[in-house]
Amino acid sequence: MREERIDWPNGAKMALSIVVNVEEGSEQSIARGDRGMEPVDELGIFIKAPIRNYSNESNYLYGIKAGAPRVVKLLKQFDIMASWTVAALSLENHPEIAEAIVDLGHEPVSHGWRWIHQFKFTEDQEREFIQKAIASIEKTCGVRPFGWLSRYMLTDNTRRLLNEEGFTYHMDDYSGDVPFWDRDTVPEKPMVIVPYQLDNNDMKMWTDPAMTPEQWLAYAKRNFDQVYREGTEGNPKMMSLGLHLRIIGRPGRIWALEEFFRHVRAHNDVWVTSRKAIADHFAGLPA
Domain residue limits, the chain: 9-283
Q: What percent of the chain has pLDDT over 70?
A: 99
pLDDT of residue 23: 96
3-state secondary structure of 267: coil
9-283, CATH topology level: TIM Barrel (3.20.20)
Task: Supply the DSSP string of 97-131, one letter for each residue.
Answer: HHHHHHHHTPEEEE--SSSS-GGG--HHHHHHHHH
List, for residues 186-200, the tens digit of each pLDDT value: 999 999 999 999 999
- Enumerate the H helices of the chain as residue ranges: 54-62, 68-77, 88-93, 95-104, 123-141, 158-164, 213-232, 245-248, 254-265, 275-283
Cis-peptide, bond into residue 236, ω within 30° of zero: no
pLDDT of residue 13: 98
Q: Is the pLDDT of residue 208 over 90?
A: no
pLDDT of residue 46: 73
pLDDT confidence bin for 38, thresholds 50/70/90? confident
pLDDT of residue 42: 75
Window from 43-52, 132-141, 176-185, 250-259 with minimum mean pLDDT? 43-52
List, for residues 117-133, the tens digit of each pLDDT value: 888 899 999 999 999 99
pLDDT confidence bin for 109, thresholds 50/70/90? very high
